[in-house]
Amino acid sequence: MAVLRAFKAIRPTENLASKVAALPYDVMNTEEARVIGEKNELSFVHIDKAQIDLEKDVDQYSTEVYEKAKENLYSMIKKGIFVKDNKKNLYIYRQIMNGRIQTGIVGCTSIDDYINGVIKKHEFTLPSKEKDRINHVDYCNSNTGPIFLTYRSNNRINEIVDEETKKKPVYDFISDDGISHIVWIINDDQAIKEIELLFGEIDALYIADGHHRAASAVKVGLKRREDNPGYTGDEEFNFFLSVVFPDTDLTIMDYNRVVKDLNGMTVDKLVNNIKDKFEIEKVKNKEPYKPKKKHEFGMYVEGKWYRLTAKKGTFNELDPVLSLDVSILQNNLLEPVLNINDPRENDRIEFIGGIRGLEELERRVNTDMKIAFSMYPTTIQDLMGVADSNKVMPPKSTWFEPKLRSGLFIHELK
């Protein structure tokens, strides 16, 4: 059963939270982070991507960068920008985007739950990406970015959250992208204990976003265990920072595809080569085509939109992976027709999150790409089904919005 436990958060003072909070490190490159950091000396990018405070020719994975991240973090603590709570609490983190509300509980989850499969995964991780965050966590002695988890909604947990959110929040601000961020502290020991016990009755937590951060946090914890052979299991390094949301609060956006060429074919040849697998219909109006149901796709090429509908035999509804639309497109069109064998490694394909809109697909095809595919979003139920089967999704299957902000909560490992 799942572990969620209270911790003493290091967090920004109330008046500085909006300036400190930043998008996760992995949704921006160094130059984008540098622009943010130059405008805002308090932004958490100075910790998450500390290379922005060094010379431009410094390798972003060098020891110097991780040492700078540690220096920046503890300098901000020393200056009083961050404070550490004097008792173990849980926290509530609510985000509102375009009127949609998602409300999660912030606490620490167990590295043993990750190892033993109570915390379930749906993606592969890359060792190179893990190494970066392992070093970052180890040098900073802290989990600096929360893992985005979900669970099957629990009525009693929802009731407690509803009661706690009637109180005055500690943070309440709107970020530059128009998303509201509201935080409450759950400091009542009885409420904390009940929440911890209720999570102890939940048999699975699911990683929604942050697979590399989770894997890295676990490996740092295991490293600390090796360094402390007398560990009891109660030390902070046995746990990592998470925000857990009920599945009913979350929405996955579409994750679309653009390809640089038609693999040597004309459009007519392409259409002829896919007609055995898909029903194909030209879209009469000039609006971008957004799929309305599963197994339906939009295709934009040479200024025209087509609706593709997967035929029987292109998917297996009994298989949680093969029934996914991302699998259907990959297995029946991208790989056999366009020769995109491994989308993780092939530089002819790119992925565009639905937050950018379908107009972005048109723009890319009209400039540097040749063809685009709009997708029907993967569902939370799809994600859970794949994870429960101990399988993984194809790359770029899910796009979650809004993104959790880094810097609002820090979990110190000792």
* pLDDT digit string, tens, across residues 58-76: 999 999 999 999 999 999 9
Residue 344: pLDDT band (50, 70, 90) is: confident
Between strands 252-253 and 399-400, the pairing is antiparallel
Please give the span between the terminal C-alpha atoms of the chain, in angstroms, as a whole number: 25
Whether pLDDT at 285 is above 90: no
Q: 242 by DSSP, 3-state: which?
A: strand
> Which CATH fold would you assign to the domain 255-376?
3.30.1760
Averaged pLDDT for residues 74-93: 98
The reported pLDDT for the residue numbered 257 is 98
* Domain range summary for the chain, segments of one domain joined by +: 4-247+401-412, 255-376
Distance CA(310)–CA(355), nearest Å, equals 25
pLDDT digits (tens, 9 = 90+) for 130-145: 999 999 999 999 999 9
Angle between helices 155-164 and 189-199 (to 10 degrees): 150
> What is the average pLDDT value for the chain, to the nearest integer?
96
Q: Write down the pTM of the prediction.
A: 0.93
What does the pLDDT read at residue 395? 86
pLDDT of residue 274: 98
Q: What's the CA gap between 41 and 122, in Å, rounded? A: 36
**pLDDT one-digit tens code per residue, 231-262:** 999 999 999 999 999 999 999 999 999 999 99
Predicted confidence (pLDDT) at residue 209 exceeds the cutoff of 90: yes
